[in-house]
Amino acid sequence: MKYFVISLLFVLSSVAFAKNEVKPTEKSQGSATASELSLKFLGMDGCALLYDMNKKVWLEEFNPERCKRRHAPCSTFKVPLAVMAFDSGTLKDASTLFKWDKVPRSLDVWNQDHTAQSWMTNSVVWYSQEITKRMGRKKVQEYLTKFDYGNKDFSGGLQDAWLTPAPFSKNVKTSVLISAYEQISFLEKLWNQQLPVSEHAMKTTKEILLLETSPSGAKLYGKTGSGYVDFKQNKRLGWFIAVVEKGSERYLGVVTYNDLDPQKEPAFASGPAKKILKEILAEKGLF
């Protein structure tokens, strides 16, 4: 029964992306060739999207069929979860502190008290789980529906519906699924302040997503995500979703991939996804 449920989730992950997603108006002439980008995805089934919010032009759409397929958002789910938490009052501001329950987790940095800012910075899973526990399934589901986020399905585990089975947590009940195109659509609504929530919720979420500022003043906001796509948890699923603000210019980017072959050594999938997208941004002079 367990394998049937997981298999069903992978079938669902191939569902086509939602109708209200960002649509291109024209193809940028500066787009890299498929062969150039394919070198960045060796050993991976991956895709890359880069969208100019102001001009409403796609600067990159590498492997669009992969970009349409839905997968668990993993830790990128912290972005909509932050919006929900700040809007509902579950989190007041970036300094809202949750006490560590003294249960050791797999990463040392998780084994301490955390604020909303350090939660996002260190991708603290237990902090997310405390938020969903305090909010409850019904409230989270209401927000997902209002946000039109991916498949809008929070019927899985209250504290792991957005995750995948992992070596340290195998009894996961995944139900939330999203595509790369849908990630772009959600980020655009968030950055345009078009989500049906308070201005405070969107503004504070944006603030805790800031990763770094380039020497030229461009700001990179984003969130990584790591999971697995196979029963043995050795084929990784990686995400990096990002926004670049460069003066009045704004760009949305997503890289996601899954390994084609099992990994010999355990490693988080988020690193390669972030590296690829930052390389694309650098090559285009955006960051």
Catalytic: which of 7, 35, 75, 118? 75
What whole-number distance in Å separates Cα of residue 282 and Cα of residue 44?
21
Q: pLDDT per residue over 85-133, tens digit each?
A: 999 999 999 999 999 999 999 899 999 999 999 999 999 999 999 999 9
Instruction: Characterise 114 by phi-psi region: left (phi > 0), alpha (psi -120 to 50), beta (else).
Output: beta
Quick one: pLDDT at residue 22?
61
What are the structural domain ranges in the chain? 2-283
Name the percent of the chain lying above pLDDT 70.
89
What whole-number distance in Å separates Cα of residue 159 and Cα of residue 128?
8
What whole-number distance in Å separates Cα of residue 107 and Cα of residue 4?
31
Give me the amino acid identity at 255.
V
Q: Whole-model pTM? A: 0.89
Q: pLDDT per residue over 241-280, tens digit each?
A: 999 999 999 999 999 999 999 988 878 899 999 999 999 9
Q: Which helix (H) or strand (E) holds 257?
A: strand 249-259
List the CATH code of the domain at 2-283. 3.40.710.10
179 is annotated as an active-site residue: no
Q: Which residue has the tokens 């849908």?
A: 182
